Structure 1
Amino acid sequence: MTTGSPWRAEAGALLKRLTARWNQLQPPDDLSQQFLADAEAALAETDNSVRGWWNGRHKETVWRSLHAAEARITSLGTDLGGRLPDVKARTGQHLSSRDERYKALIGIDPANLGLNDRTAVETALEAALRLGDDGFSTLRGHRNRLLYTATALLVVLLVIGTAATFKPTMLPLGIGQSTGGGDFWWVALWGLFGAIFAASVSGAKLKLSLAPYAFGVPLFGLKVVLGAAFAVVGVLALKAGVVAGQKVENQAALIVAAITLGYSQQLGTKILDTYSKKLVAEAKPSTGDVKSG
């Protein structure tokens, strides 16, 4: 059930730990049991449909159910006093110090826990974990936007390239005054090469994440398509004399220009790299319960 991707293994470990803690509750809690059952069912689910992959329903159900169960089990447990420092630390990662729920949590005395204190623990921890889970939805949306942007741009390039194949004069990308039906694809190909090189170097710096959504491949795809677009537009600009002193007078110059322009997309997508890494950091699943104790 939990074999495969890292996020499944991590979620499965958390499920086992929480189930063991639930078994120690006296009396048993039906609500947290239902949360655990929902998580287990979603974790065992294999949805290979495009729609399921796109909306990520079962993945997000797993984490939201696990975290809802964790917040409740933690608040009801007889070991709450010992877990309170960890709860405060993890909650502080998501809730502001000005948040009333966090203030109530910080003020709890581990040696004197009452019913209201346990309610405050559940409320604060659940709110904090929910914010982390919301990061999964944001990351999924980011991945999907990268995909349909890359797809839309690819379709536009294919349409323009097909038109340029039958009417080369519409995009004079050849050497000198010569034009040919394959000029567009030749320039785009070398732009792809430059973009692939840049994207590979950038991708090597990415760290593995336990988040259930990966953005590396969609981002790589967008960079590659942008590289081809940059090469086509850039070579066209050079031939038009937009850049003073820069000319494309032979085949070698054309290839170097296309590769350089394809590589240059990295300058434009660097902000995407930074934003993507930020989203992954924010969407890191809170699994402190698995790693503690």
Structure 2
Amino acid sequence: MNWREALSTEGKPRPHRVSGKFQVIRFMPNLVAQEIFNIGIVFIDNQNKRHIRMLNNAKAFECLYGKAGAAQVQNMLTYANDVTESLGESASLASPHLSYSEPLFTQGLTADQILSSLYDEYINLICNDEATTAKRGAINTDNLRKKVFSRLRKINPRGYNDILHEDPIIVERKNEKIELNLPIWKYDKLFEDSFFATIISADFIPEAYLGYNLDTLGAMNLQAACEIQGSKSKAGFFIYCPNPDTSDINEADYLRIKTHINKTLKNVQYVASRTNTILDYKVSENLETLNAAVLDFTSA
């Protein structure tokens, strides 16, 4: 470049050094509710090199779904990152819960700068459940289970040591290990005294959160246990559902929540019937009533 060319280019914008196409990695926890969360960015530069930036952790989902739900989301984040790196665009086919947005052109000075800019624009999960819960006085599934566990352990500290589970349990079936999120699980092959149950809060107004708790965290794990244990065990489904008389929830939301609960129960009842599993269930807005139902179930 001679001095005339240098002068002619001085003061002009520097050309973009990197260009390519990007896609947003999307996650749908509940296929029925179809609520979509953006969890990552994949950028393919003009040299066909892939650059990926994922949500750092599932902390934001803990506010929505509790610790147990967030742990499952964390597994999906890890899985999404793995399939995005290995499968590329076919990652959308690897799981019905994962998808890519349509590819769009972008450019910038570096790949890192592009990823940072896109991440700030599209990944905006914020944990604001604490303020919402405090405002409504809502009870999420994680807190509900703690309340029930506390009450049962006061009644019989030793008797519930092997029955109540704060973490997911691992069940083996045909040399395959299956993780189940079931807070109540007892398996006694010798005396055929086996049972399992889940405790779920339906105290959620947004449909996505309600669907995740009832269908994914609740029904899906319960149905899987029915398939594994079948007639060897009895199953329990205990649901906390606030009503307009005892909470600040309005009549329209209450009716919508009840409709969703009834639909979920029918799906679980169908699987229980097909697998010859005895199913007990209780839906109540009263924690004492729910505690009594769980106590009867585990004592019978």
What's the TM-score, normalizing by structure 2? 0.22
Name whichever structure is richer in strand by fraction. Answer: 2
Report the structure number with the largest CA radius of gyration.
1
What's the TM-score, normalizing by structure 1? 0.23
Name whichever structure is richer in helix by fraction. Answer: 1
Which is bigger in relative contact order (C-alpha 8 A, separation at least 6)?
A: 1
